[in-house]
Amino acid sequence: MEKYKILFKSYYAPILYDYVSWVIEDARKRNIKKLYFLSRDGYLMYLVAEKILSYRKMEDISISYLKVSRYSLRSAQYHIIGEKSLDMICINGIDVTFRKILIRAGLSKEQQEDVIDTISIIKAEDIDNVLSRSEIKKVKRILSGNTVFWEYLNNNSKTAYENTLGYLTQEGLVTEEKIAIVDSGWVGSIQESIRQLLEISNLQGYYFGLYETPRGVEEKNYHSYYFGPKATRGLMHDNYADNQRKVHFSNCLFEAIYSSPEGMCLGYKKEDNRYISIDGRENPNKLYMNAAYEVMKDYVYCEKNDGKGFDLNEELIAETMSYPSLEDVKVLENLQFCDDVIEYEYQSIVRPWSINDVKKNTVLYRIFNKLFNSKYVENTSGWPEGSIVRCGYKVDYYLKQERLYKKLMYVRKAIRR
């Protein structure tokens, strides 16, 4: 754990400190009165913000830790948004299976079995097979017309709705004051979920990075720190610099490092006249999270009187995420990670790759198979750069291939957007 603390202090402490400092200063300029740091990525951010506000004696802004997750909020939304629910439920990811799709929908084991019994072309023994992109689309079409699925989905959602609204209202999100949530980011869907559930218009959001925003939202209410759509950018950077930052960044590694010891929020219940979070199993990275907090306490104390401007830390981020050393990869490889809205299965952030796996990581191989092989399933790693370095085969060449692939994907998304 000492090696992890050294690594965290060298790279991840300054990255987090500067981000939280920027959020606080920008929020004060916008006259935002309260910041809600979202579980679980916002856990360390919240603790750092507490220290910063205390050390700098800032009393014009308050903070709170909000227990939410994409799963807990979407579960309450499904009966409201109808068919659009399938866009959230049947989305691609790492090792997506039919069972995982049904769990995303909030169906119990018994309900899952009932739905499976109504679908003759899906065999019970195949529900844990990893699906290709085309197979996920096929599942989406099947569920779209399945009345048993929709009955369970809507009934479960209506049950979750009352407690979810009760919790969010109890925590003070229904107010005339300017408020904002703080999170890691990537899409900003939680902000839109809260806005839709509470029917409020004054909610803003701060994000370390945004690859995109939900369609139809007012991007002026979304503020990105490191990268994001043009209208959301909080610091000066152009389109080229923005895309370069994405190429050298790993959102999965970011989430694995900046998390909290408790389990994911699965929903809410009322107990002793208060709404409380129903949490899942304890975070397997709990010891790492506690170690990170110990480092951050000392780091914030040392920086408390520092009046320097905000540093985007581009070199630090690129070095640790895009050009990692084997020694650093070995320190981080025991971090467990799940990229799904549910914590169905954890795996090492550094997925073990054989030489053959690495060879399949070329740009041409991946694009060709995505275009012409409907059964193609990528052996995806949460942190591909770490898997390449850990394997040790032609590291420089395959890291370049990974960066080139990312660059092409971001250009493609920008064009389609």
Is 297 found in the same domain as 179?
yes
Which of 43, 38, 36, 27 lies closest to 173, judged by CA?
Answer: 36
For residue 40, whether the previous peptide bond is cis, meaning omega lies within 30 degrees of 0, is yes
Same domain, 336 and 406: yes
Q: Is residue 90 part of a domain?
A: no
Which pLDDT belongs to residue 329?
97
Last residue of a domain, one of 282, 303, 324: 303
Per-residue confidence (pLDDT) for residue 311, from 0 to 100: 64
**Domain membership flag for residue 113:** no
**Would residue 28 count as lying in a domain?**
yes
Both 179 and 67 in one domain: the answer is yes
User: Same structural domain for residues 370 and 411?
Assistant: yes
Q: 136 lies in a domain?
A: no
Are residues 286 and 179 part of one domain? yes
Instruction: Compute the half-sphere exposure of residue 296: CA atoms within 13 Å on the CB side of its CA.
Output: 25
3-state SS of the chain is: CHHHHHHHHHHHHHHHHHHHHHHHHHHHHCCCCEEEEECCCCHHHHHHHHHHHHHCCCCCCEEEEECCCHHHHHHHHHHHHHHHHHHHHCCCCCCCCHHHHHHHCCCCHHHHHHHHHCCCCCCHHHCCCCCCHHHHHHHHHHHHCCHHHHHHHHHHHHHHHHHHHHHHHHCCCCCCCCEEEEEEEECCHHHHHHHHHHCCCCEEEEEEEECCCCCCCCHHHEEEEEECCHHHECCCCCHHHHHHHHHCCCHHHHHHHCCCCCCCEEEEEEECCEEEEEECCCCCCHHHHHHHHHHHHHHHHHHCCCCCCCCCCHHHHHHHHHCCCHHHHHHHCCCEECCCCCCCCCEECCCCCCHHHHHCCCHHHHHHHHHHCCCCCCCCCCCHHHHHHHHCCCHHHHHHHHHHHHHHHHHHHHHHC
Q: Output the pLDDT for position 394.
A: 97
Out of 278, 303, 328, a domain closes at 303
Identity at 234, one-letter amino acid code = G
Q: What is the pLDDT of residue 215?
A: 87
Q: Answer yes or no: do 297 and 190 share one domain.
A: yes
* pLDDT value of residue 126: 82
Amino acid at 318: A
Residue 388 inside a domain? The answer is yes
Residue 147 forms part of a structural domain? no
In a domain, 103, yes or no: no
For Cα atoms 320, 313, 203, give the angle at the middle one, nearest 5 degrees. Answer: 110
Distance between CA atoms of residues 192 and 36, nearest Å: 15
pLDDT at 238: 72
User: Are 410 and 340 in the same domain?
Assistant: yes
Residues 169, 291 within the same domain: yes
Residue 223 lies in a domain: yes
Model pTM? 0.92
Let me know whether 64 and 176 are in one domain: yes
Same structural domain for residues 182 and 276?
yes
Query: According to the model, what pLDDT value does residue 389 have?
Result: 98
Residue numbers of the domain that contains 341: 314-416
Domain boundary among 250, 283, 303: 303
User: How much is the pLDDT for 306?
Assistant: 56
pLDDT of residue 121: 78
Q: Are residues 56 and 200 in the same domain?
A: yes
Regarding whether 241 and 201 lie in a shared domain, the answer is yes
Mean pLDDT by 10 residues, the chain (417 residues): 94 94 95 96 96 90 96 95 94 89 93 91 82 92 95 96 97 95 96 95 94 91 92 72 91 95 94 94 92 93 62 86 97 90 83 96 93 87 97 97 94 75
The total domain count for the chain is 2
